[in-house]
Amino acid sequence: MTGGAHEARVEAAVAELFRAERGRIVATLIRLTGDWDLAEECVQDAFARALEHWPCEGVPRRPGAWLTTTARNRALDRLRRSTVEAAKLREVVTVADDDVHVDVDVDQDDIGDDLLRLIFTCCHPALTLEARVALTLHTVTGLTTAEIARAFLVPEATMAKRLVRARQKIRNARVPYRVPPAHLLPERTGGVLGVLYLLFNEGYSASGGADLLRPDLCAEAIRLARTLVDLMPDEPEAVGLLALTLLQDSRRAARFDGAGDLVPLAEQDRARWDGERIEEGVALLDAALRRGRPGPYQVQAAIAACHATAARAADTDWPQIALLYGELAKLVPSPVVRLNRAVAVAMADGPAAGLALVDGLAHESNGHLLPATRADLLRRLGRTTEALAAYGQARALAPTEAERRHLTRRITDLRAD
C-alpha cells in the first residue's frame, strides 16, 4: 500500500466521522463548558489534530471518544490560559475531573442525550424561527456560516450576526441546555419537527434554482430527521416527519423539466421517482401508524404515500386523499390545508364539488394558490372566461418566476383551445 492511499483512507475516515459524530461531540463540549463558541472551535481543532496524527499513529480504536477527549482537553487548556474566565474554569475542571474516567469509555446513551439537548436548545421557541433554523444547521450539522448564508440567500455577514445573536440570547437569558421535562415535551418536540420541516421545504422549493452552490437542505433535513428518530424512537411524529420528507424527496428528479420549470404531479415521469425512498418512507409510515398516535406529520406522510404508490396519476386514490385532508384540517386548521382538501374533493367527486368548497374559502388568504386552484376547476368545467380571469389573478400574485411561467402556459393553452 502506498503512503498516499493510506493518507487518503485516513482523510476519508475523518470526513465520515465529521459527518456522523461532529454534532454529538459539539453537544457534549457545550454541556461541559457551557460555551458554544469555545465548544465549536475546540471540536474543529480536534478534527484538525486527527488529520495530523492519525496518518502516522493510525486511527484509534474509538475515534469518537478520541475526538471528544482531545476537544475537551483543548477546551481545558484554553480556559486555563484565559484568566478572565477563571470562574468558568472552576466549573469545567470539576466536571472534567469527574469525567476523566468516563470519557475513556464514553457512554453512548449520555452522548445521545447531549445531542438531543443540543437539538432542543437550538430549536427553543424563545429564538426566532430563522435563528432556530440557522443555529441547528450550524451547530448540529456543522454547515459553515457561508454555506448557510448561501442556502438562505442572505449575505454572510447577516447570517453571522444572526448566529451570534442567537448564541448570545441562549447565554444571557439562560435558555436551559436540556431535553424539556415531560409537561413541555410534546409542544417542544412539535417545535423541533417544525424547524426540520421548514428546513426541508426551504430546500424543496428551491431545488429548481440554478445555484448549484447552495447546499442540499433537503438532504440535511432528512439526515436530522433520521437522527431525531434514533434519539426519540417512541415519538411517532418524528417517524412521520422522516417518512414525509423521504416520500416528498422521492419525486425530486421528476419535479422540474429541462428548462427548470415545475412539472405538476400528474404530469411527472413516475419512472424517475426514487423507489428506494418510497419504499423506506412507506415502511416507516406503517410502523409509525401502528403506534395508534396519529399527528399532522403522519397524516401528511399518508397523503404523500397515496401519491407515491400510485403507478399512474389516474390510479391515485383521491377519495382516500380527500379523507386524509379532512383529518389534517382537524389537526391543523390552516387555509392551505382546507384548499388542498378542496382540490382532493374535486379529484374524487368532480370539479363542481371542488369549486363549491373553494368558493367557500374565498375570504381566506392563500396568495396565488386560491385563484390558481379556482382557475383549474373553472377550466375543467368549461367556464373559460372565468378561468382566464382567475389565472390572471393567480399570475399577478405568484411569488416565483417558475410559477408565473407555468400559469402563463395555462393561459396560452386555454386561449388556443
Partner 1 sequence: MKYMLLICVDDTIEPTEGDPTIEQWLDEVEGKRLDGSQLRSIQDATTVRTRGDEVLLSDGPFAETKEHIVGYDIVDCADLDEAIRIASRHPCARFGSVEIRPFAE
Q: Which residues bind partner 1 (CB under 8 A)?
A: 124, 126, 172-176, 180, 184
CB of 113 to partner 1, least distance (A): 17
Compute the distance between CA of residue 178 and CA of residue 176 in angstroms, rounded to an integer: 6
Compute the distance between CA of residue 25 and CA of residue 8 in angstroms, rounded to an integer: 23
Residues 62/111, Cβ–Cβ less than 8 Å? no
Nearer to partner 1, 31 or 379 (CB): 31
Which residues are bridge partners to 256 per DSSP?
262
Nearer to partner 1, 51 or 185 (CB): 185
CB of 125 to partner 1, least distance (A): 9
Nearer to partner 1, 180 or 240 (CB): 180
Compute the distance between CA of residue 83 and CA of residue 86 in angstroms, rounded to an integer: 5
Nearer to partner 1, 1 or 87 (CB): 87
CB of 364 to partner 1, least distance (A): 26
Nearer to partner 1, 173 or 352 (CB): 173
Residues with Cβ < 8 Å from 376, sequence gap 6 or more? 387, 410
Grid cell listed for 349: 367527486
CB of 43 to partner 1, least distance (A): 24
First to last CA, the chain: 70
Compute the distance between CA of residue 321 and CA of residue 328 in angstroms, rounded to an integer: 10
Residue-by-residue DSSP string for 299-358: HHHHHHHHHHT-SSGGG--HHHHHHHHHHHHHHS--HHHHHHHHHHHHHHH-HHHHHHHH
Rg, the chain, Cα only: 25
Nearer to partner 1, 146 or 173 (CB): 173
Alpha carbon dihedral 207, 209, 212, 216, in 10-degree steps, equals: -20
CB of 333 to partner 1, least distance (A): 22
CB of 174 to partner 1, least distance (A): 5
Nearer to partner 1, 17 or 123 (CB): 123
CB of 178 to partner 1, least distance (A): 8
